[in-house]
């Protein structure tokens, strides 16, 4: 998460629910954070700059294991309405097309929520 206010809110919410030992909120942009991460994760929640999403896919493969879940949030530009007028639609289309075709993931798109859920296989 790039916005320090959102980081603080998320950390507070996780602490109040006794989840702070299990969930890490990373402060910064995905393009800067993902290359530095090591290990494998059970769940990844992406909520960043849509234009960066296509570059995340190699990192998602590296950072997940079979059974891991990747939630890609705020795919608004793809699903029309006010989001359809936002910049980023080509990047989101590219990201989802590549993710759906990637043999390492089974991806499900949730239009009403503007999210996708990918399970690492």
20 and 57 in a common domain? no
43 and 90 in a common domain? yes
Higher pLDDT, 85 or 105: 105
Residue 45 falls inside a structural domain: yes
39 Rama sector, left if φ>0, alpha if ψ -120 to 50, beta otherwise: left
Lowest mean pLDDT among 17-21, 40-44, 48-52: 48-52
List the one residue out of 22, 24, 25 whose CA is nearest residue 5.
25
Q: How confident is the model at residue 112 (pLDDT cuts 50, 70, 90)?
A: confident
Question: Can you tell me the distance from the alpha carbon of 88 to that of 44, in angstroms, rounded to the nearest whole number?
Answer: 21
Tokens 């590296």 belong to 62
Q: How confident is the model at residue 58 (pLDDT cuts 50, 70, 90)?
A: very high
108 and 50 in a common domain? yes
Residue 32 falls inside a structural domain: no
pTM reported for the whole predicted model? 0.88
Domain count along the chain: 2
List the domain range (segments joined by +) for residue 52.
Answer: 37-120
DSSP codes, 19-48: -TTT--PPPS-HHHHGGG--S-EEEEEE-S
């Amino acid at each position: 998460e790039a916005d320090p206010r959102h980081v603080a809110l998320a950390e507070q919410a996780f602490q109040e629910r006794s989840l702070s030992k299990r969930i890490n909120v990373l402060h910064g942009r995905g393009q800067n954070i993902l290359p530095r991460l090591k290990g494998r994760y059970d769940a990844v929640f992406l909520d960043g700059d849509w234009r960066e999403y296509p570059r995340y896919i190699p990192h998602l493969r590296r950072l997940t294991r079979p059974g891991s879940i990747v939630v890609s949030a705020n795919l608004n530009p793809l699903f029309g309405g006010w989001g359809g007028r936002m910049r980023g639609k080509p990047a989101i289309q590219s990201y989802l097309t590549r993710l759906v075709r990637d043999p390492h993931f089974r991806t499900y798109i949730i239009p009403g929520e503007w999210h996708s859920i990918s399970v690492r296989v």
